[in-house]
Amino acid sequence: MSVVDRQEWDVVVVGAGGAGLRAAIEARERGARTAVICKSLFGKAHTVMAEGGIAAAMGNANPHDNWQVHFRDTMRGGKFLNQWRMSELHAREAPDRVWELETWGALFDRTKDGRISQRNFGGHEYPRLAHVGDRTGLELIRTLQQKIVALQQEDEKETGDHESRLKVFQECTVTRILKDGDRVSGVFAYERESGRFFVLEAPAVVIATGGIGKSFKVTSNSWEYTGDGHALALLAGAPLLNMEFVQFHPTGMVWPPSVKGILVTESVRGDGGVLRNSDGKRFMFDYIPDIFKEKYAESEEEGDRWYEDPDNNRRPPELLPRDEVARAINAEVKAGRGSPHGGVFLDVSTRMPAEVIRRRLPSMYHQFKELADVDITAEAMEVGPTCHYVMGGIAVDSDTAAARGVPGLYAAGEVAGGMHGSNRLGGNSLSDLLVFGRRAGLHAAEYTTGLADRPSVDDVQVDAAAAEALRPFSAEGPVPGEDIEERSRPPENPYTLHQELQQTMNDLVGIIRRESEMQQAMKKLAELRVRARRAGVEGHRQFNPGWHLALDLRNMLLVSECVARAALERTESRGGHTREDCPTMERAWRRLILLCRLADPTGGLAATDPVRGQITLTRETTEPIRPDLLALFEKEELVKYLAEEELYE
C-alpha cells in the first residue's frame, strides 16, 4: 500500500475559477470546512480571461429588461434545448449575484448616472452585460479571491489558523474521485511541482473544472482546459449530457500562426464593429436565418441606427448568436471571399474614434498591436472561428447542481451541462458560474451536514489511483489487457498523441460535421486510446510537464469520444452542432437529450482500460417546459421550435 498524505474536509471544490470560488465561499459560509484545489496558481483560472461581461437583467441601460426577457433570449440562443429550469433560475438570480459582487468590492464600469453600466452582446435583446472594460473576468476573480481572504481572516481571528475552514491547494491536479459504494468519499491528487500524491477525504465534491478546448487544434482556451472534470465525473459513474454541442466563437485571431485561436471579444461587435468579406461587403445581412428574421435589421442603415435608438430599430446581424455568425464566416471563407490569412475582416477603425477604441477595448488594442502588429484604430482585424466553449457537460439537477447518480458529487460552471442548450449566449457563462457555483456550494454543504455517517476512503482505490498516475514512467513494461503485438511497441510521446488528437477533432468533428468524417474520427480516437496506454515519459515527478500531459490525455480522449459519439447520433443541425448531411433543425429532436456513460459497468477504476472503457450513449426525453414559461413566447415562435406533440399538449 502506498503511503499517501490524507486530510479531512467537509466539501472539496475542484477548480478555482469563478464557479469553484463562488461554490467555496457559499459552502464555507454555510459552515462546511471547505478545501479548494486547482491546477494553476490561485487567481489564475480561465475565468480571468473573460472579457466582455456578465449577463444579468438589471435594466440599468434599458428599463424594459427583466428576467423574463433574459430567459427568452437564453432559450432562443440555445434553440430550446436548454434545461429550462436552469435557464429560469439563471435569469432570475443573475442580477443578485452581480449586486453581491459589488458589495464584495467589484468595481464595474458606470453609466453617467452612476449605475453599473451594461453593454450589448449577441442574442441579448437589451444591453445586459455588466463589465469592467474588456477585463471583466479579472475583476470577477479578484473580487472572489478577496472575499476568500476576508473569510480566512475571520477564521484566523476565531481559531488562530487562517486555513482552518477554507484552504486553497494551488498547482495541484485531481486525477480521481474516490468513492465508498455509490457515494463520494474524496479525491486523489498530485502536486504539480513536487509530484507528491495526496488525498482529500470529503463526503461532497464540487467539480468546477471548466471546459475541453485543448482537445481541438484552434481554440481560445487556456492550457487547463483538458476536460478533466468531465472525465472525472464519467469515471465516477456520472453521465455527460449533450456533448455534441461545442461552441466555435466566430472571432478568434487567425494570424500569425502562433496566436491562431486567441479570442477577439464579442464586445467589438457589441460596441459597433462590423464584419466584411474581401469584397468589402457586410455579409451578415445574407445570413439571417428565418427564425431570427423579425428581430434583425434588414439594411446597414437600420442596423447602424439601432446603436443610438434601439427601441425603434432592429439590431444588426453581426449580433446574431455565435453559432450563426461562425457558420456565416466559415461559408464566406469557403466561397473564396476570405481575408489573406483565411478569415474575414472585423472593423472598428471606421466606426469609432481611435481614443474611444482604446478606452472601450484596451485589451484588444494591445493584443493586436503586440501579437500581430496591427493597429485596430487604423485597420481591420482578421478573424475566424475558434473552439471556445462546451455547452455539453455533467448532467446535473437544475436546482441543486447535484450530479446524476453519484451522491455527494456536484458540478457548476462550464463543466456542467444543460443550462445553455445547444448554444451559449455571450456573457451567460459568468452569470451561470455565479448562480450555479453558489447553488452547488450551498447544496454540497447541506448534504454534508445532513449525513448520518461519513463515507470512508478505500485504500485499494488510493493505491490503484497512484499506480495509474505512475504508469507513464514505466510505459515500456506490460500494460494489463494488451495483446502481444501491442506489447512489442515502443512508448508513445504524449505530445505527438496530443497533436494527433487535436488535428482529428479540428478536422473531423469541428464546426461543420459529416457522418463519414465522424466515423473516421471514431476510428482514429480508438487507435489513439490504445496508443495512449503506452504514453511514456522520462525523468522524475518534480515539475514534469510531459508527465502532466500524459495524465491529461486520458481525459481528453474520453471527452473527445463523447463529443464524436453524440455528434454522430444527433442527425440534425442545432446551435453548436452543424451537420452538412442533416442541415436543418428538426422539431422532433427538441425534447431529446443524449447521455454518455462509461461502458464499463463498474464505472470505477477498472474503467481505465482504454479498450473496454468506451462510451455508451442513450437518448432521453426531457420534461415538458412549464406552461407559465412557455407563455412568455408568442405561439408563432414556438411553432418553429417545439415538437409536434408538445404543441398539441
How would you label 225-254 residue by residue, b for 16+ Cβ within 10 Å and e otherwise? bbbbbbbbbbbbbbbbbbbbbbbbbbbbbb
**107 in Cβ contact with 253 (< 8 Å):** no
Please say which residue, 59 or 122, places its beta carbon nearer to ligand FAD: 122
Pairing of strands 172-180, 11-14: unpaired
Name the 3-class secondary structure at 503. helix
Between CA 291 and CA 473 the distance in angstroms is 55
Give me the least distance between CB of 634 and ligand FAD, in Å please: 28
Q: Dihedral (C-alpha) 621, 622, 626, 631: value to the nearest 10 degrees?
A: -70
Give me the least distance between CB of 453 and ligand FAD, in Å please: 27
Backbone angles phi, psi at 296, to 5 degrees: -120, 150
Please say which residue, 224 or 572, places its beta carbon nearer to ligand FAD: 224
Write the CB contacts of 170 (distance below 8 Å, at least 6 apart in sequence).
Answer: 16, 38, 40, 41, 42
Please say which residue, 14 or 596, places its beta carbon nearer to ligand FAD: 14
Cα maximum dimension of the chain: 75
- Which residue sits closest to ligand FAD, CB atoms considered? 17
Between CA 609 and CA 426 the distance in angstroms is 38
Please say which residue, 53 or 604, places its beta carbon nearer to ligand FAD: 53
Question: Is the peptide bond preceding residue 256 cis, with omega within 30 degrees of 0?
Answer: yes
Write the CB contacts of 328 (distance below 8 Å, at least 6 apart in sequence).
Answer: 250, 275, 283, 284, 286, 287
**47 in Cβ contact with 137 (< 8 Å):** yes
Please say which residue, 431 or 448, places its beta carbon nearer to ligand FAD: 431
Please say which residue, 288 or 390, places its beta carbon nearer to ligand FAD: 390
Nearest to 402 by CA among 390, 423, 418: 418
Please say which residue, 50 or 497, places its beta carbon nearer to ligand FAD: 50
Cell numbers at 59, concatenated = 435594466
Write the CB contacts of 60 (distance below 8 Å, at least 6 apart in sequence).
Answer: 111, 115, 116, 117, 118
**395 in Cβ contact with 594 (< 8 Å):** no
Is residue 269 among the annotated active site residues?
Answer: yes
Between CA 413 and CA 402 the distance in angstroms is 13
**365 in Cβ contact with 353 (< 8 Å):** no
Containing H/E element for 191?
strand 183-191
Cell numbers at 250, concatenated = 466566430
Strand partners of residue 177: 187
Please say which residue, 430 or 518, places its beta carbon nearer to ligand FAD: 430
For cell 439537477, the residue is 397
- Indicate the length of the chain as a whole number: 649
Q: Which whole-number Å values give the CA distances from 310 to 52, 120, 122, 634, in the listed order?
A: 20, 11, 14, 21
Rg over alpha carbons for the chain, rounded to the nearest Å, is 24
Between CA 498 and CA 645 the distance in angstroms is 45
Give me the least distance between CB of 36 and ligand FAD, in Å please: 8
**189 in Cβ contact with 199 (< 8 Å):** yes
- Which one of the listed residues 76, 249, 570, 597 is annotated catalytic? 249
**205 in Cβ contact with 394 (< 8 Å):** no
Please say which residue, 329 or 521, places its beta carbon nearer to ligand FAD: 329
Cell numbers at 273, concatenated = 464593429
Instruction: Give the number of other CB atoms < 10 A from CB of residue 290.
Output: 7
**431 in Cβ contact with 90 (< 8 Å):** yes
Please say which residue, 39 or 579, places its beta carbon nearer to ligand FAD: 39
Give me the least distance between CB of 136 and ligand FAD, in Å please: 6
Please say which residue, 173 or 377, places its beta carbon nearer to ligand FAD: 173
Between CA 137 and CA 131 the distance in angstroms is 9
Question: Which spans of this chain sit near ligand FAD (rule: CB under 6 A)?
Answer: 14-20, 37-40, 45-47, 49-53, 136-137, 173-174, 208-210, 220-221, 224, 228, 263, 389, 413-415, 426-430, 433
Is residue 249 among the annotated active site residues?
Answer: yes
- Which one of the listed residues 119, 165, 269, 529 is annotated catalytic? 269
Between CA 156 and CA 565 the distance in angstroms is 50
Please say which residue, 209 or 448, places its beta carbon nearer to ligand FAD: 209
Between CA 486 and CA 65 the distance in angstroms is 61
The catalytic residues are: 249, 269
